[in-house]
Amino acid sequence: MRLFVAVRLSDEMREALLSAQNALFDRGVRGNFTPEENLHLTLAFIGDYPDAGPVLDTLEKVAFRPFALTLEGLGCFGDLWWAGLRGSAPLEALARRVRRALAEAEIPFDRKRFSPHVTLIRRAAGKLPGTELPPASMTVGSFSLMRSDRGRHGMIYTELGTRKAEPAAE
C-alpha cells in the first residue's frame, strides 16, 4: 500500500485553498486541481509499504504540542502549483521528529528536504498569475497516516490512524 504522513487541514484552511483554486481557474489556469477532500500537508512520503501496523506504532512515539499553521503565498515546482505555509519552528520540528522516527524504525521514506506546501494543481499550464491567497490559519492538533489508492477519478486518500498532540503547556 502507498503511505504518507500528513496534517489534515481544517475546514477554514480548505475553504481558503478552494477559493485560491477557483481564482486560478477564473484566470484561465488549467490542470489537475486537487479535490477538496485530498488537500493536506505532507510531513513524510513513505510510498509502497506492506504493512501499516509498524508505521502506526512508530508514529505513536512522536510527541508534539499543538501549534499554529498559516497559509502564506503561492508558488510552483515546475507544473505543480502549491500554497505555501508561513515558516514555523514547531512545524519544522514535527516533520523532523516524524522523519527521525521513521528512519530509526527502518521504515523507508522520501528523504527530500521538507518543503511545507499544499498541492493545489498538478500539470498546471501557463505562468502562475498574481493571485492572492486568502488568509487562513489553523491549530495543528494531530497528524495522520494516510493510504493513497488510485480510483476511477483520481487518487483516494484514506486515514489509517491519527496521532494527537500532547496537551498544550500552561
Question: Which pLDDT tens digits describe the chain residue by residue (170 residues)?
Answer: 899 999 999 999 999 999 999 999 998 899 999 999 999 999 999 999 999 999 999 999 999 999 999 999 999 988 999 999 998 999 999 999 999 999 999 999 999 999 999 999 999 987 888 778 899 999 999 999 999 999 887 889 999 999 999 986 65
DSSP codes joined into one string, 109-170: ---SPP--EEEEEEEEES-----PPPP-EEEE-EEEEEEEEEETTEEEEEEEEEEEPPPPP-
Residue of 117, 143, 145, 148 with catalytic role: 117
Q: What is the CATH number of the domain that holds 45?
A: 3.90.1140.10
Residue of 8, 14, 40, 99 with catalytic role: 40
Is 117 among the catalytic positions? yes
The whole-model pTM stands at 0.92
124 domain-assigned: yes
Place of cell 510510498: 47
Q: How many domains does the chain have?
A: 1
Residue 63's domain comprises: 2-164
83 domain-assigned: yes
